[in-house]
Structures are given as structure tokens and as C-alpha cells.
A = this chain, B = another copy of it.
Amino acid sequence: LCPARGFREDPSRPGLRDKAMPRPAHGSPAALRDHGFSLDCLDSRGFLFGPSLAQELGLGCVLIRKRGKLPGPTVSASYTLEYGKAELEIQRDALEPGQKVVVVDDLLATGGTMRAACELLGQLRAEVLECVSLVELTSLKGREKLGAVPVFSLLQYD
């Protein structure tokens, strides 16, 4: 993992390729099991893990996508990248007000994307129970951007 190279290293790639990688079916993340009613996964590498977790936990899975990808009425939130700005969207009817959700992505770096996801979910009045990431780059202090929302990461790197 090399932030200086622009987060283009893909933390999910080598693990997925390895068929001997431990699978959730053989070691479910207990931290998630008692949580919410919906998983929200982030476009597009969050898609690699969100549906598998949802399947394992018997939860529904809602997509948060980059701008322009979702049909129908959406709400959006923008976030800052190292090289500009971007927008995330969710469908306006994706969640009920008060619905509990856990947000899933592959990498927590500066936390900008995850914070935008939480803002989006706030617009729908969903309750974010936790943000979950496969990898966390701790030196970038992304979790500080998320305020009171708990963060769970499976692997931490400086």
C-alpha cells in the first residue's frame, strides 16, 4: 500500500485472487453480526465485499455509487480527492428514515469518501451504526473525520 502513488494500489486484489483466502463463511465478522438491517457498500471496490457480507449475515445490500450511475431520483454528497472533487449518490427511496445501516468499503485512507457516504445516509435519515473497511491506513487518521461513528477495520497499516 502506497499512498504516495495515489491510492491506486488495490488492497483487495491479491487477497481475492487467492482461493485459499479465509472466507466469511468460515469466520464471520462477529462485530457485524449483531448490527443493522442493511449494508451500504461503496462504488466500486466496496462492491467486492458488501454483497458477500450481506449474504453471510442475511441482510439487504444498498449501493452507494459515483455520480450518474444510479437511475431514478437520487440524493448526492460531494467529497474531496487528492486530485479534485467527486460525488456519491444513493437512491432517494433506498432506505427508510431511521433504518440502521453499516457502511462497507475496501480502504479507509483520508476518510473523505466514507464521510460523504455518512452524509448521504444522514440525508435519508438512516442511522449509521458503523463504518467497516477491509484496510485502514492509520497514519491518515480517516476515522477522525467520521466523528462519533465507530470504525471497524480488519487490517491496519501505517
Residues in chain A within 8 A of chain B (CB atoms):
5, 8-10, 12-13, 16-19, 21, 23-25, 37-38, 43-45, 47-52, 54-56, 58-63, 69-71, 91, 94
Q: How many copies does the complex hold?
A: 2
List of B residues within 8 angstroms of A60 by Cβ: 16-19, 21
Q: How far is the CB of A99 from chain B (nearest CB, A)?
A: 11
**Which chain B residue shows the least CB distance to A44?**
B44
Cβ B48 vs Cβ A10 within 8 A: no
Which residues of chain B are near A16, meaning CB under 8 Å? Answer: 51, 54, 60-63
Give, as a whole number of angstroms, the nearest-CB distance from A33 to chain B.
14
Contacts of A38 in B (CB 8 A): 17, 19
Q: Which residues of B contact A5 (CB under 8 A)?
A: 71
User: Is B54's CB under 8 angstroms from A55's CB?
Assistant: no
Roughly how many angstroms separate A70 CA and B16 CA in the complex, as a whole number? 14
Residues of B close to A47: CB separation below 8 A: 44-45, 47-48
Give 5 A-B pairs besides A17-B94, A19-B58, A48-B50 with Cβ atoms closer than 8 angstroms: A10-B70, A19-B37, A25-B25, A47-B47, A51-B51
